[in-house]
Amino acid sequence: MAHALGFTDEDLRRLAGSRSYERGLGYLSAVSRLEIEETAITATVDGTDAYEVELTEREDGGLTGWCDCPYGQEGNFCKHCVAVGLVVLGQAASVPRQRASAARRTKVLTAWLESRTREELLALLCEHLADDRDLRHRLELRAATAGEDSGIVRERILSLLDTRPFARYGYVEYADAHAYGQQASEAATALRALTTSGRAADAVEVAREALATLGRTYGEIDDSDGLVGEVAAGLAEAHLEACRTARPDPVGTADWLVNHLLDGLNDATDIDLFDYHEVLGEPGLARARELVVAAWRAKPKGWAEKYLMERLLKADGGSVDALVAVHAADLAPNGHTHLVIAKELATAGRPAEALEWAERGLRETESEWGPDGELVAFVCERYARSGRLADVVTLRRDLLRARPTLAAYQELRTAARTVGTWQASERKSAREVLRAVGTPKTGRWYDGSVLVDALMDDGAFDTAWQAAVDGYADQRQWLALADRIRDRRPADALTVYLRWIEPMRKQTGDATYERMTELLLSARACHRTLGTEAKFSTYLTSLRADQKRKRKLMAMLDQHGL
Q: Is residue 124 part of a domain?
A: no
**393: three-class secondary structure by DSSP:** helix
Whole-number pLDDT of residue 443: 45
Residue 44 β-bridge partners:
32, 52
Q: Provide the 3-class DSSP secondary structure of residue 498.
A: helix
- Residue 235: CB atoms within 10 Å: 28
Span 518-555, pLDDT tens digits: 999 999 999 999 999 999 999 999 999 998 888 889 98
Q: What are phi and psi of 50, to 5 degrees?
A: -85, 115
Distance CA 548, CA 562 (A): 13
| pLDDT-derived band at 1, boundaries 50, 70, 90 | very low
Measure the CA dihedral 513/516/522/525, to 10°: -80
Q: How far is 490 from 240, CA to CA, in rounded Å?
A: 65
Q: 499 in a domain, yes or no?
A: yes
282 vs 39, higher pLDDT: 282
Instruction: Give kind and range of the element (H or E) at residue 136.
Output: helix 133-146
Q: Is the pTM of this model over 0.75?
A: no
Domain hosting 77: range is 9-115
Band of pLDDT at residue 439, cut at 50, 70 and 90 = low
Long-range CB contacts (within 8 A, 24+) of 87-92? 87/28, 87/31, 87/34, 87/43, 88/5, 88/34, 88/36, 88/41, 88/55, 89/3, 89/5, 89/7, 89/8, 89/9, 89/12, 90/28, 92/3, 92/4, 92/5
> Domain boundary at 115, 134, 161, which?
115
- Looking at 69, 95, 115, the residue that finishes a domain is 115
- Find the helix or strand (DSSP H, E) in which 33 lies: strand 31-36
Could you write out the three-class secondary structure of 288-353? HHHHHHHHHHHCCCCHHHHHHHHHHHHHCCCCHHHHHHHHHCCCCCCCHHHHHHHHHHHHCCCHHH
pLDDT, residue 2, reads 41
54 domain-assigned: yes
Say how many C-beta atoms besides its own lie within 10 A of residue 558's C-beta: 11
Lowest mean pLDDT among 198-207, 267-276, 351-360, 455-464: 267-276
Residue of 469, 528, 529 lying closest to 499 (CA atoms): 469
Please tell me which residue, 205 or 268, carries the higher pLDDT value: 205
Tell me the per-residue pLDDT of 158-172, one tens digit each, with 9 for 90 and over.
888 888 888 877 888
Number of domains in the chain: 2
Instruction: Assess if residue 307 is contained within a domain.
Output: no
Cβ atoms 500, 475 nearer than 8 A:
yes
Q: Which pLDDT score, from 0 to 100, does residue 207 have?
A: 93
pLDDT digits (tens, 9 = 90+) for 43-100: 999 877 789 999 998 777 778 899 988 888 778 899 999 999 999 999 988 888 988 9
168 domain-assigned: no
Q: Which of 115, 140, 172 is at the close of a domain?
A: 115
In a domain, 253, yes or no: no
Is the pLDDT at 185 greater than 80? The verdict is yes
Amino acid letter, 369: W
Confirm whether 383 is domain-assigned: no
| Residue 198 resides in a domain | no
Q: Kindly report the average pLDDT of the chain as a whole number.
A: 87
Distance CA 273, CA 292 (A): 11
Cα distances from 139 to residues 129, 133, 481, in angstroms, run 9, 10, 58
Cα separation, 397 vs 411, in Å, equals: 9
